[in-house]
Amino acid sequence: MGFDDGRKLSGVCAVEVLHRKQVTPHMMRVTFGGEDLKRLPQHGFDQWFRLFLPRPDGKATNFDAVPDKLRTLDYLKYLTHGDRPPLRNYTVREHRPDLGEIDVDFVVHGDLGIAGPWAATAEPGERLVIMDQGKGFDLHPDAGFHLLVGDESALPAILGILRDLPRGVRGLALIEIPEMADVQEVSGPAGFEVRWLPREDSSVLPGSLALAELKAFQPETPAELSAYLVGERTIPTGGRRHLVALGVPKSQITFVGYWRLGKAQA
Ligand SMILES: Cc1cc2nc3c(=O)[nH]c(=O)nc-3n(C[C@H](O)[C@H](O)[C@H](O)COP(=O)(O)OP(=O)(O)OC[C@H]3O[C@@H](n4cnc5c(N)ncnc54)[C@H](O)[C@@H]3O)c2cc1C
């Protein structure tokens, strides 16, 4: 599986908030700009990055504490800075290299946490730092069928993969969202079905609809299936277990827990 892309840009990019726009009830799009973004490679698909945010306590944030790389030792050193910026992971929703701009879609999930609440009120001119991580999606060109499964946090990744997949591939995308109004426009291969799964009711556990739909799906030829499972951690863990039991080769399953219900990212 991917998620450690050797072609990522080394070093950090200083970025500035240009504007923010509510795209659906639970999704806030923040556009970042800056000269550094003109040298950000365009990996496409689910290109992701580390985002270093202003401290939520209003105290001064030491962006100089951000290392050029995030190997284990660099990370441990970064943790020693009491005034370091908090770190979260996000996906490039759209990239305009000529303009030095990226759009990032943040799930707005209430008052808890740092990145979601920050995005809900981000103001033009705010300065942050990002670190390119390349892409996580591995294209298996010989796969007969592609399965993409995720929740709203995975929406930018899945829509980016659909946008960049070769037009001739066949597949199914299962995308769980809070409500039907969170649907976004899709530009994908004609042979791809996109199934939206709105929870609608807050008593429905995030990830449960996507996982149930995945379990109801019967691949014609498991050995030829390629799967990408991301989002609330029950999707990748439960989904992978299920597909492996059906006979899908482990090497053809990309799976990553994006977040965990009731637990803040460290
Ligand atoms: C490679 C990668 C790419 C990602 N790309 C995106 C992206 O493009 N857009 C995006 O919105 N997220 C994305 N995520 C997920 C995002 O990093 C997490 O949701 C992160 O925890 C949000 O940080 P926070 O500070 O808002 O909340 P945290 O401080 O981490 O958590 C605080 C509370 O909020 C809850 N929470 C966290 N995330 C969510 C959520 N999405 N929905 C509901 N409750 C939540 C937690 O369970 C916890 O109780 C990505 C994750 C990875 C690993």
- pLDDT tens readout for residues 112-144: 999 999 999 999 999 999 999 999 999 998 899
- Give the rounded percent of residues in the chain with a pLDDT score beyond 90: 90
| Beta carbon of 159 within 6 Å of any ligand 1 atom | no
Q: How far apart are CA 180 and CA 209, in angstroms?
A: 14
**Pocket residue to mutate for ligand 1, from 158, 159, 258, most atoms within 8 A of Cβ:** 258
Of 188, 238, 233, 185, nearest in space to 211 by CA: 238
**Pocket residue to mutate for ligand 1, from 4, 22, 130, 153, most atoms within 8 A of Cβ:** 153
| Beta carbon of 118 within 6 Å of any ligand 1 atom | no
CATH topology of domain 145-259: Rossmann fold (3.40.50)
- Give how far Cα 19 sits from Cα of 29, 32, 45, 147, 218, Å: 8, 7, 23, 34, 43
**Pocket residue to mutate for ligand 1, from 107, 133, 261, most atoms within 8 A of Cβ:** 107
- pLDDT tens readout for residues 75-97: 999 999 999 999 999 999 999 99
What residue type is assigned to position 225 of the chain? Answer: L
Ligand 1 midpoint to CA 167 (Å): 30
Ligand 1 midpoint to CA 266 (Å): 11
Q: How far apart are CA 8 and CA 175, in angstroms?
A: 27
Question: How would you classify the pairing of strands 94-96 and 13-24?
Answer: unpaired
Residues 6+ apart with CB under 8 A from 179: 25, 26, 198, 199, 200
| Beta carbon of 156 within 6 Å of any ligand 1 atom | yes
Helices 208-216 and 234-246 sit at what angle, rounded to 10 degrees?
A: 10
Helix H or strand E encompassing 239? helix 234-246
| Beta carbon of 155 within 6 Å of any ligand 1 atom | no
CA atoms within 13 A on the CB side of 21: 7
- pLDDT tens readout for residues 8-22: 566 899 999 999 999
- pLDDT tens readout for residues 214-260: 999 999 999 999 999 999 999 999 999 999 999 999 999 999 999 99
Strand partners, 95: 102
Ligand 1 midpoint to CA 258 (Å): 6
- pLDDT tens readout for residues 164-202: 999 999 999 999 999 999 999 999 999 999 999 999 999
Secondary structure (3-state) at 126: coil
Q: Ligand 1: which atom is nearest the Cα of residue 27?
A: 11
| Beta carbon of 45 within 6 Å of any ligand 1 atom | no
| Beta carbon of 264 within 6 Å of any ligand 1 atom | yes
Q: Residues 151, 177: contact at Cβ < 8 Å?
A: yes
What tokens appear for 111 in the block? 């008052």
Domain residue ranges of the chain, discontinuous segments joined by + = 13-132, 145-259
Q: Residues 129, 66: contact at Cβ < 8 Å?
A: yes
| Beta carbon of 228 within 6 Å of any ligand 1 atom | no
Start-to-end C-alpha separation, the chain: 23
pLDDT for the residue numbered 1? 38
CATH topology of domain 13-132: Elongation Factor Tu (Ef-tu); domain 3 (2.40.30)
pTM over 0.85: yes
User: What mean pLDDT, rounded, does the chain reach?
Assistant: 94
Q: Residues 49, 114: contact at Cβ < 8 Å?
A: no
SS3 percent helix, strand, coil of the chain, rounded to 5, is 25, 30, 45
| Beta carbon of 263 within 6 Å of any ligand 1 atom | yes
